[in-house]
């Protein structure tokens, strides 16, 4: 069976019949896999090999894969192909109504982008695992937060920003893309208040579903979501494989 390139991916052909598929699309510092999908488990490794070969031809540094947590078959194949597990991401959903938690005394929450410098500092301090936005230019940040579907909520103690939540609205759904509180201000109810403000914004904009996410190492956020009545929607594993030595 040879993998033949299509406009949007690779298919595995066996005796003239399609036996599997894998796609590649740009993602972060490399490419992400769409699939692979196959009728038989033994066809998954050759699909991965074909995708990796294509990624090398494109001089990509890294390949990512995002199987569901419960897809043990594909996860095993990825691990046997030297893909390493980065983290698990849990997605929770809830009706945004009923979340009413005011910020602690001395803390106010304001909507609006505070500027690239303050944003980067807050982004860097709020969660040590975040890095993607630090590579964005000032212009890219300004452009992103001028999008009418993107809203940034910032918690201030006096003039000092101590937490933030980014809310993205689409149709009747609102997603909290980022939520974080600086270490010295944690455990005081600021994260809960930011989430409540995000829910209030979602309701005001007509959303009937609020979606949040947290990685497996963010135990505080996971506990918060469960305690506030969010239901687990799905869990996704993030895998990566280095194709070229870091320069």
Whether pLDDT at 97 is above 70: yes
Query: pLDDT-derived band of residue 5, with 50, 70 and 90 as boundaries?
Result: low
Q: Write the CATH number of the domain with boundaries 96-207.
A: 3.40.630.30
Mean pLDDT of 149-155: 98
Q: Above 90 in pLDDT, residue 86?
A: yes
Q: Which residue has the higher pLDDT, 247 or 227?
A: 227
Mean pLDDT score across all residues of the chain: 92
Alpha helices in 130-217 (DSSP H): 138-145, 190-204
Name the region of 133 (left: φ>0; alpha: ψ -120 to 50; beta: rest). Answer: alpha
Kindly indicate the confidence band of residue 2, based on its pLDDT and cuts at 50, 70 and 90: very low
Q: Residue 43: which of 77, 89, 70, 80 has the closest Cα?
A: 77
Length of the chain in terms of residues written: 247
Please report the pLDDT score of residue 15 as a whole number. Answer: 87
Decide whether 2-86+238-242 matches 96-207 in CATH topology: yes
What average pLDDT does the segment 86-98 reach?
A: 95
Q: How confident is the model at residue 134 (pLDDT cuts 50, 70, 90)?
A: confident
pLDDT at position 127 is 73
Which residue ranges make up each domain of the chain?
2-86+238-242, 96-207
Domain covering 2-86+238-242, topology: Aminopeptidase (3.40.630)
Q: What percent of the chain has pLDDT over 70?
A: 94
H or E element at residue 167: strand 160-170
pTM: 0.84
pLDDT for 42-80, tens place per residue?
999 999 999 999 999 989 999 999 999 999 999 999 999
Strands 2-5 and 84-94 come out as unpaired
């Amino acid at each position: 069976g040879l993998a033949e390139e299509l406009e949007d991916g690779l298919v595995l052909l066996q005796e003239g019949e399609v036996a599997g598929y894998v796609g590649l699309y740009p993602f972060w510092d490399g490419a992400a896999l769409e699939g692979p999908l196959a009728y038989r488990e033994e066809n998954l490794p050759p699909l991965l090999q074909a995708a990796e070969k294509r990624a090398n031809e494109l001089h990509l540094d890294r390949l990512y894969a995002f199987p569901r947590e419960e897809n043990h078959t594909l996860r095993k194949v990825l691990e046997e192909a030297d893909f390493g597990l980065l983290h698990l991401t849990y997605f929770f959903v809830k009706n945004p109504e009923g979340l009413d938690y005011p910020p602690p005394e001395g803390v106010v929450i304001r909507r609006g982008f505070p500027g690239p410098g303050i944003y980067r500092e807050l982004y860097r301090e709020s969660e040590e695992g975040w890095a993607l936005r630090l590579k964005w230019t000032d212009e890219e940040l300004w452009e992103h937060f001028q999008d009418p579907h993107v809203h940034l909520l910032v918690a201030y103690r006096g003039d000092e920003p101590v937490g933030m939540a980014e809310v993205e609205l689409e149709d009747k759904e609102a997603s909290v893309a980022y939520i974080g509180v600086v270490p010295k201000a944690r455990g005081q109810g600021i994260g809960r208040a930011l989430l409540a403000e995000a829910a209030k914004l979602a309701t005001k904009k007509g959303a009937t579903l609020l979606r949040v996410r947290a990685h497996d190492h963010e135990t505080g956020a996971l506990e918060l979501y469960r305690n506030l009545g969010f239901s687990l929607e799905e869990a996704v594993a993030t895998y990566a494989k280095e194709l070229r030595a870091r320069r």
